[in-house]
Structure 1
Amino acid sequence: MAHGRSDRFRPPRRAAGSLERRQLVARVLAGLDGQIVLVQAPAGYGKTELLSSGFESLRSAGEQVVWLTADTRNGAAFANELAQAAGFTDLAADPGLSLDRILDALVAIPAPRVTIFLDGFARDYEGLASLLAALPDKLRVVVSMRATPSAPLSRFRMRGLLAEIGADDLAFARNEMRHLCGSLAPGDLETLQLATRGWPALVKLIVPRLAGAIDPHERSRLLSGLHGDIRTFLREEILSGWTADIRELLLAAAILDEIHPAFACRLAGLDETRAAERLEALYPIVAPLAERPGWFLLHPLVRGVLALDLPAALVKTRHSQAAALFASDGQIVKAVHHAGKAEDFGFAANTIRAAGGVDLFLRAGYTVLRRLLDGLPPSVVHASPGLRLCAALVMAKEGQIRAAREALDELKGLTGEDAEAELPEQVLVHIDCLFDAYEDRHLGDEQIDWLEARLRSYRLKDTWERGWLHNHLCIAHTRRGGLRQARIHAVKALDCYREEGAAYAQTFMLIHLALVNLLGGRLAAAATYARQAEDLVQRTQWTDENLLAIARIPMAEILYRQGHVRAADAMLAEALPIVSRGEGWVDVYTRGFVTFARCRYRLGGVEAALRVADDARDVAEDRGLPRLRLVADILRVETLTSALMLSPAREAAAALPDPERDEGWPARRQQRDGQVTLARLRLRGGDAAGARADLLAFLAGAREEDDALSGLTAQILLAEAAFSCGDAEAARLHLERATQLAKPQDLLEPFVFEGEPFRETVRGMVRRWGLSAFEQDSAAFLNRILATGEDGGLRPREGLLSVREADVLSLLAQGLSNKEIARELGVTEATAKFHLKNLFAKLGASRRTMAVSLARAMGLLGGAPETHIAHAGD
């Protein structure tokens, strides 16, 4: 900003409508408790406005303040300029004035302290380093600069005398953007935030133009840095201050999505020495990538302006050079991307083939393969059998499984040297098995025998081949209900993939292990594997939203089964739509949709749950997945039964296969789930004896741990059925067995899911025998279950005791007498004694202290214990 000489000794006027940034002003003032405040950022970040606000705040408070705006034309006269700014006209007229003399004059001012505001100083401005080095204790300095000063600051930092405010602090935060852009649509606001990164001057330039009636082309120009006003600001205030070598370096970087200093220097023909330091000094124009140490990103709007200065021929040449550089470094995705930009599709195709083609996907992930193919014309892909197989895999991962299968079958029929070279037999077999898993077919005993025979044909050192065979065996055993075998194969596959260093494949095996342990009721182990999977995705596959969504499906079910309904619902609401568009793995769908429907039932009622069941059926129809369609039908029966809508539940149940015959059930797990669901319908319909017989037969057919969750539900329903049949002792035994199964894993949900009929069963048992009929830890667990609300929150007054009994117990624990309890409750002493008698009977206690002690042991006093397996915030 240009200033007249007198204007340089006072702050400029603030622009009308300027945003008040009180927190930043407070930081400046707090920083003055040290001695130096450095405000450093590129042009247009509001440094002058901030210093001006601080200046006015101190002056209004009666403090002595001095303002000096830098004069780049006359840096040698710093002492004289400072004297003039402080009002020492006699000293300022002395051409030989030293810095020490003006500092002594400032110290002599009769005030507790004097604060000097130095605005717009260059990093090597004459006199600034000397001022900071000789700064007396009484003086405070606030200085703004576009670059880090050359003056040494370390000793001030070590002594706690320096406060620093940088570009990140000055950039507009999201709430400030929202205040400035109140008329913009939320989508435009998000786009503006990404484009400007909160750069105040750019935001102020763009917002009024973006809010106007502009066409889409004009909007695009604004948000890409191509608009004339944006270009003018960046050229005048930013680009003009760069040295020639920095400009050449960033011109080369303008073609790169992500900048590596060495590669950028090679493209620009510059010396690589200290390239990283030079880029770091340009922050925030160039920002480090948090997830990729040593790599940087160029500000998108600056990149857009720089790109205008590159001739088309040079752009093409540099893309070609970048492709060769990245290929030589083994960075295949970047090499292919730049080869596509250079229109060198032959190089791109050869690079993919040389890197392993489809094997690259199996090791590196779907998003890698998709990005490789994005820039290639269909003709180039079709000319290569390997690329055609890659394209088929992308189609399968994006839900087009039928088209992918057709493409694979066509490729199997190809013959010739090129086809055999690009489509090794073991790769075709692997992809064939993968598509089988997506189509949920060929996963029976015959396929398991074939996979095991093939596994025996490989040597121990063939870790990749053995890994994917164990992987497919895990899928097959999971489908048929053999969870122990599935877990063994998943662990072996994970070991193989770890030996290969294939993070993408490891992630899937961790997800498999989470699901298998979850189905077996081993929630602690499932949570551990799910967290490991999510952590691995975020470290190695952070751009793959589909993989992250898959990893969150088992974690959501773990949260739900432990009573964290809202957390599970929120996680699935985000993850399931992504998974529905991408992954074709049926077990992920079944667990996700079933858990989501149960969450929605608890939070939104029967209609919300039925909509989820309908969504599951739609995905089943789109993908041709009969097992998922059957799961959706079972889910519909379950939901209607829980809502006691028995007539429509029976109609829906009529569409299910015969539960006693294997025909019509594609997998044993769905058959077992169907048997429990139909038994519940029978029980809710009043046929307790029939339901009891069905459930006893179900448990008699249980196999090891494979029916852990459905077996637990069967025990819970049997307790209710036996109690309804008048067999109270059998009901108590079933309930005790269920609690012993559930407690170690903190499995609340299977009990809470059964709703009021289960609650009445438990309360009936307590009325009959009292709480002494249960182990103390079982009583505490049951109290938590009954006190858990529909949303998963605790309602302590709805546990095993009545509301009045809970009140009496609380007062008893406080040591109140019968008369005092009666007075607190507003009842007669006789009524208080009546409630105490009932309470003692339930607890099996004969004395007051004994009653309090037993109640505390049973969890009837105070909050319920927290689970240590999975937390809602994880």
Structure 2
Amino acid sequence: MLLTTKFLRPASDSRAVQRERLSALLTPGQPKRLNLVIAPAGFGKTTLASQWCARTTGSIAWLSLDEHDNEPRRFWQYVASAFEHAGLTGLDACHQNLANSTDNSLENAITALINALANDDTPWVLVLDDFQFIFANEIQRQFAYFIDYLPAGVTITLVSRTEPALPLARWRVRGWLQEVHPALLAFSENESREFFHNTMGLAISEAQIQAIFQRTEGWVAAMQLTALSGHKTGSPRDQPAPTSQQPTLSLNQQHISDYVLTEVLDKQPPETVSFLLDTACCTRLCASLCDSIRHADDSQEKLEHLLAKNLFLIPLDNHNEWFRYHDLFRDALLQKFAASDALRAQQLRERAITWLLHHGQIQEAIAQIVQKEDWPWLAEVLATHGNKLIHGGFHLPVLDWLNALPEHQITGNAQLQMLRVWGLFFANRLVQLEPLLSHVESLLQPGSETLNHDTESAPGLKSEISLIRSYLARSRSTDKNASDLTRQVLAEIDHTRIPLKSVTYYGLGLDDYGSGNLTGAEKSLKAAVHYGQIERKPSTVLSSGGLLAWIQYNRGDMDLALQTCTEVRQWVDGHYADPTQPRLISCWLSAALTEIHRECNQLQDAAAHLEPLLEHVNKGAEPGQYVIIQHVRGHLAFSEGHYQQAIEFLEDADTVARKRREHIVFEPPASSALLARCYLAIGETARARQILEAEDTRAVTNPLNREQNSISYARLLVAEGNPEPALALVTALIPDTEDNEHIRHKVEALLVCGDALALQNRTEQSQERIARALSLAADSGFMRLLTEESPRLQRLLRANAFLSSGGYWQQSVAEMLANQDDNDSTNSTPTGSEPGAEAMTLAEPLSQREREVLELINAGHANKDIAVHMGVAPATVKAHIRNLYGKLGVGRRTEALARARELGILSL
């Protein structure tokens, strides 16, 4: 006798989350014959199938299987009876064959069932729930025969915790199979929100929903157990509708652990349970790691078995090498193991940590050491691996781990204190370094306990102290002291055990770059890249290679600069490509690539290289990096003709560079020069002069920055109609650019020289200077800088015979200049002027941004609100207001509004 209740489909809850995206996958259609819904316990497989059936028209048969149905005759009796219970007729032959069969072949009975479905000639759906109970080889073979010969219009849906041993690959190729796997079944964030609010009637906060969703990874059962723990009494249906109150709700780990025990572990064979518990200490698993901690050699087979059984094992790659358990499942395993055999659990964890350390998985090992609070072991590992981690870009985690150590573990340890110094240095917390350095020096004094215990490390630590002091000297602009300290370290470095050559040569590169000695800087930075690769210090390789490319770009070796970036990036990605860690980003490298592609007129590529740097700006980059990023960002906006945006970015860079100078170990690019050019481009010559004559602008020490400011000042003089002093300025500058191989500046100086000569009607000399500039630009690959010059100079460029020589570079530049001319002629409004009544009465018209600020002042907004509204820094708003007051000739808000209304800029 058969249980007819097994033919009853579970009732569908109207308040349950409706999963249209998955129901659509299960919809019958040709040539599909089989839906396969596979996931671990608690992923909502049965609920999905029930919801889908409730929304599906046609004849539907349902069969809930159990462990007793793994016998061929009984299985097919239930399948045939499920169809019959749903209304299929003509099954007498099938039942007769099932009753009379003396073996397990049952082909005649199955054939009779297929014939009955074909004779019925209507669409049929059969759902077989809990198909994981059916694993007998004979049934699997028979079921494959059944699927192979199904008539058109019949769709079978298997709901299972494990993948059945059926010819799925063959059916995939034929298009017969639709698979719904755990990743699809997991709730999305929107579905999680609907589940808590509508299904469970809980008005929890958005933050709680996101936290639970991330922790459960969309595991429906874990969410339901958590929601049930939030109800004090009664069922979810008894709860009131959501209100404005937002109760506190958190994961109930005990309920989830109990569920894992009863629904998963209790139903697994002992050897599977043993493997799960033994390997639960691993946050990530591979066969080698599992073999090592278990003292076995069958772990790969075990892992593949778990994967096939869908036991909450998640692959981390495409070739089944690395895996992880679902976090909540792993937590439940750890809890059970700690309760049943705490000593073995501890031993296995220590074996796992040891394996991780020996296989270079240092961060993962340290995380486990911190979790078990083994502070002596943590101190030992940090002393051994801390330097490598810091120079690999992980200075912030190292600082966190050092802070986790008890104070007595670190106070008297010079090596750990020096790690803290390096961590703070790379975190740009320079003001905290001097007291720490003094403390480390005291620990290294003759007779101190630290020196007595570790005399070998003392020379290396002293060299590290000198190196840090050299960088601090650079931040204070005492370059001579910085260079002397750096060269002292270089002289002593071969006598130490600590690999410092890469960082030392990087310091020397910064010194030479700061002094304008680009040839010396290149040599030092190449050495820094070389030793950084030997010492396995990716952050130093990236920073040194990025600055090297930046210098090569400025020297006019753009192909070489691009090659440097590519080689450095490939080396870092080849040696540090851990997918679990964020990609190491170098400000110098990405900035150099942005500039190279911008200059080559590949603006989309330039923006793509800039994009990852903007995340650092939004999260709070170190001051030096912040200035470089905003400078490059402003230059790209300038090249695109977005002058107001460029002004905002460059003013922001200039402000940070001035206010945070003591936190920057090099003199950043001169934003003042480019900022003045932006104001020249919009016709605000007075503002450009104000910038270039500012005390801070004149106080720059880097020759590159001085040259940039001088060239911009010469452009200003030409724009004001004073070619004679402009010509004198750039004529005196050109020999310096030649001596120092500052090719980009030489090109710009020659262009401005040609512009000034043209203004004096010295046409032949003007064209000669411009031809020299074009020849240099062609050799170096500079293109975009030519289109950034004044409209008059661009006309001179278009008229120069050099561009008609027919080469690829010449054709490209000529086309770019022609396009620029078309854009200029389309806009009949003179550069820098704004249409409106104020253009007739103001010496300088208001810019678009200044008009926007004026409107917001008129609406009653404070400066900080204006900054938020416009998406700029408060300092930028103040600059706009200052300019606005100057143009209107007022000194306060009320006067500005009154004057603007008088001029008709604002309505009364």
Q: Which category describes the TM-score, using the shorter chain as reference length?
A: 0.7 to 0.9
AA in 1 matched with 2:755: E
Residue 258 (structure 1) aligned with residue 284 (structure 2): yes
AA in 1 matched with 2:163: T
What pairs with 1:117-132 in structure 2 (closer than 5 Å)? 117-122=127-132, 124-126=134-136, 128-132=139-143
Q: Please, which of 628, 633, 656 is the counterpart of residue 591 of structure 1?
A: 628
Contact 2:562 2:593 in 1 (8 A): yes
What pairs with 1:102-117 in structure 2 (closer than 5 Å)? 102-108=109-115, 109-110=118-119, 111=121, 116-117=126-127
What pairs with 1:413-562 in structure 2 (closer than 5 Å)? 413=442, 414-415=444-445, 416=448, 418-419=450-451, 420-421=454-455, 423-430=457-464, 432-434=466-468, 436-437=470-471, 440=474, 444=479, 464=499, 466-534=501-569, 539-540=576-577, 547-548=584-585, 550=587, 551-562=589-600
Q: Please, which of 78, 82, 88 is the counterpart of residue 81 of structure 1?
A: 78
Shift in Å, 1:609: 2.9
Contact 1:396 1:404 in 2 (8 A): yes
- Most deviating of 740-749 and 376-385: 740-749
Shift in Å, 1:387: 0.6
Q: Please, which of 147, 158, 161 is the counterpart of residue 143 of structure 1?
A: 158
Inter-CA distance 541–263: structure 2 relative to 1 (3 Å threshold): closer
Shift in Å, 1:306: 4.2
Say which SS state the counterpart of residue 148 (structure 1) adopts.
Answer: coil
Q: Please, which of 685, 693, 707 is the counterpart of residue 646 of structure 1?
A: 685
Say which SS state the counterpart of residue 157 (structure 2) adopts.
Answer: strand
Residue 781 (structure 1) aligned with residue 825 (structure 2): no
Shift in Å, 1:241: 3.7
Q: Please, which of 193, 199, 211 is the counterpart of residue 219 of structure 2?
A: 199
Whole-angstrom distance in 2 between the partners of 1:204 and 1:747:
62
For residues 330-381 of structure 1, what are the alpha-carbon distances to aligned partners after superposition, in whole Å with 9 as ceiling and x for unaligned? 644444433333332122212333x255366346853563464253233322
What pairs with 1:608-757 in structure 2 (closer than 5 Å)? 609-610=647-648, 612-614=650-652, 616-618=654-656, 621-622=659-660, 624-625=662-663, 628=667, 631=670, 633-634=672-673, 636-656=675-695, 664-703=699-738, 706-743=741-778, 747-754=782-789
Query: Match for residue 134 of structure 1?
Result: 145
Inter-CA distance 703–163: structure 2 relative to 1 (3 Å threshold): same
AA in 2 matched with 1:345: W
Whole-angstrom distance in 1 between the partners of 2:80 and 2:352:
55
Query: Match for residue 853 of structure 2?
Result: none
Inter-CA distance 685–291: structure 2 relative to 1 (3 Å threshold): farther
Residue 762 (structure 1) aligned with residue 757 (structure 2): no
Whole-angstrom distance in 2 between the partners of 1:761 and 1:318:
74
Whole-angstrom distance in 1 between the partners of 2:642 and 2:305:
56
What pairs with 1:106-255 in structure 2 (closer than 5 Å)? 106-108=113-115, 109-110=118-119, 111=121, 116-122=126-132, 124-126=134-136, 128-135=139-146, 136-139=148-151, 141-151=156-166, 153=168, 156=171, 162-172=177-187, 191-200=211-220, 202=222, 218-219=248-249, 221-222=250-251, 226=253, 228=255, 234=260, 236-251=262-277, 253-255=279-281
Contact 1:316 1:341 in 2 (8 A): no
AA in 2 matched with 1:129: Q
Shift in Å, 1:577: 6.1
Normalization by structure 1: what TM-score? Answer: 0.75
AA in 1 matched with 2:529: L
For residues 399-426 of structure 1, what are the alpha-carbon distances to aligned partners after superposition, in whole Å with 9 as ceiling and x for unaligned? 2112123312331243246345474423
- Most deviating of 74-83 and 775-784: 775-784
Contact 1:196 1:300 in 2 (8 A): yes
For residues 607-645 of structure 1, what are the alpha-carbon distances to aligned partners after superposition, in whole Å with 9 as ceiling and x for unaligned? 763455335533653461576588455555444444433
Shift in Å, 1:802: 11
Whole-angstrom distance in 1 between the partners of 2:781 and 2:295:
63
Whole-angstrom distance in 2 between the partners of 1:740 and 1:639:
26
Shift in Å, 1:144: 2.3
Inter-CA distance 217–560: structure 2 relative to 1 (3 Å threshold): farther
Query: Match for residue 798 of structure 1?
Result: 823
Shift in Å, 1:718: 3.3
AA in 1 matched with 2:730: L
What pairs with 1:850-869 in structure 2 (closer than 5 Å)? none
Query: Match for residue 346 of structure 1?
Result: 376
Contact 1:399 1:582 in 2 (8 A): no
For residues 294-333 of structure 1, what are the alpha-carbon distances to aligned partners after superposition, in whole Å with 9 as ceiling and x for unaligned? 4433323333444554658667776556545544556444
Inter-CA distance 112–778: structure 2 relative to 1 (3 Å threshold): same
Shift in Å, 1:391: 0.9
AA in 1 matched with 2:706: Q
Whole-angstrom distance in 2 between the partners of 1:204 and 1:603:
55
Whole-angstrom distance in 1 between the partners of 2:481 and 2:745:
27
Contact 1:471 1:493 in 2 (8 A): yes
AA in 1 matched with 2:39: A
Say which SS state the counterpart of residue 702 (structure 1) adopts.
Answer: helix
Query: Match for residue 410 of structure 1?
Result: 439
Contact 1:715 1:735 in 2 (8 A): yes
Shift in Å, 1:490: 2.8
Say which SS state the counterpart of residue 439 (structure 2) adopts.
Answer: helix
Question: Between the two proteins, what is the percent identity of the paired residues?
Answer: 19
Contact 1:8 1:68 in 2 (8 A): yes
Shift in Å, 1:393: 1.2
Say which SS state the counterpart of residue 624 (structure 1) adopts.
Answer: helix
Shift in Å, 1:170: 3.1
For residues 233-273 of structure 1, what are the alpha-carbon distances to aligned partners after superposition, in whole Å with 9 as ceiling and x for unaligned? 55554454444444454445555443455556776788754
Inter-CA distance 403–770: structure 2 relative to 1 (3 Å threshold): closer
Whole-angstrom distance in 2 between the partners of 1:339 and 1:17:
46
Inter-CA distance 700–560: structure 2 relative to 1 (3 Å threshold): same
AA in 1 matched with 2:219: W
Shift in Å, 1:122: 0.9
How big is the alpha-carbon RMSD for the aligned residues of Structure 1 and Structure 2?
4.7
Whole-angstrom distance in 1 between the partners of 2:490 and 2:468:
16
The runs of 5 or more residues in structure 1 that have no matched partner are: 790-795, 804-874
Whole-angstrom distance in 1 between the partners of 2:189 and 2:351:
39
Inter-CA distance 528–177: structure 2 relative to 1 (3 Å threshold): farther
Say which SS state the counterpart of residue 253 (structure 2) adopts.
Answer: coil
Query: Match for residue 880 of structure 2?
Result: none
Normalization by structure 2: what TM-score? Answer: 0.72
The runs of 5 or more residues in structure 2 that have no matched partner are: 198-202, 232-240, 829-908
Aligned residues: 777
Inter-CA distance 298–101: structure 2 relative to 1 (3 Å threshold): same
Query: Match for residue 814 of structure 1?
Result: none
Whole-angstrom distance in 2 between the partners of 1:564 and 1:13:
60
Say which SS state the counterpart of residue 86 (structure 1) adopts.
Answer: helix
AA in 1 matched with 2:692: A
Say which SS state the counterpart of residue 164 (structure 1) adopts.
Answer: strand
